[in-house]
Amino acid sequence: MVTRRIFEFDPPDRFVAGAVGQPGQRAFYLQARKGGALVSLGLEKTQVAALAERLVALVEELRRRGVEIPDAGPPKDEQIVQLDEPVSEQFRVGAMALGWDGERRKVVVEAQAAGEDEEAVEIVSDDEAGPDLVRVHIPATEALVFAARAARVVAAGRPPCPLCGQPLDPQGHICPRRNGYLH
């Protein structure tokens, strides 16, 4: 049995989502770096989008409950950074969890490796047995900046079809709203 690896970044020097490749063939990654330690996690575009949306929703809920969190503002162009090279996937993300550490006033992002059993995708404890895990602790304003960057990474792909919302290829696509005709 292989011992579980838990990578803790509290706080990271850098925590970003990025993509490698051309639109339509991109591979998506989360990267966390602290000093010389760098972890790259492979995940799906939909997971990046969901993480960005959930981070914004978490911060909005915290504000609704009276937690004072300053606005982060839109990320500056120089803040939209590339992934650190070389991008070497540590593991593929199966499950993600978000939390709030009220005592330390930080958002906690956890990403767990996908297991062989796709049905068991809940985050488990820090026991020695289980899938590898990356845990990142960031202030709420940095979570908002991360979410804005991640949304830009997701949006930088192929434009959506105005009829069905599926990605448009340069040669078109078979659109269900056009009864299977190319759009």
Domains of the chain and CATH, by start: 6-178 (3.30.2450)
Eight-state DSSP code of residue 176: G
pLDDT of residue 103: 94
Residue among 112, 99, 107 at smallest CA distance from 47: 112
Q: Which of 38-52, 58-72, 118-132 has the lowest mean pLDDT?
A: 118-132
Q: Which residues, 6 or more positions from 71, have their beta carbon under 8 angstroms from its beta carbon?
A: 141, 144
Tell me what the mean pLDDT of segment 167-172 comes to.
70
Cα–Cα distance measured from residue 174 to residue 168, given in angstroms and rounded to the nearest whole number: 9
Cα–Cα distance measured from residue 62 to residue 37, given in angstroms and rounded to the nearest whole number: 31
Most confident of 109-113, 150-154, 156-160: 109-113
pTM: 0.82
Which of the four pLDDT bands, split at 50, 70 and 90, describes residue 3?
Answer: confident
Is there a contact between 43 and 30 (Cβ–Cβ < 8 Å)?
Answer: yes
Most confident of 53-67, 120-134, 154-168: 53-67
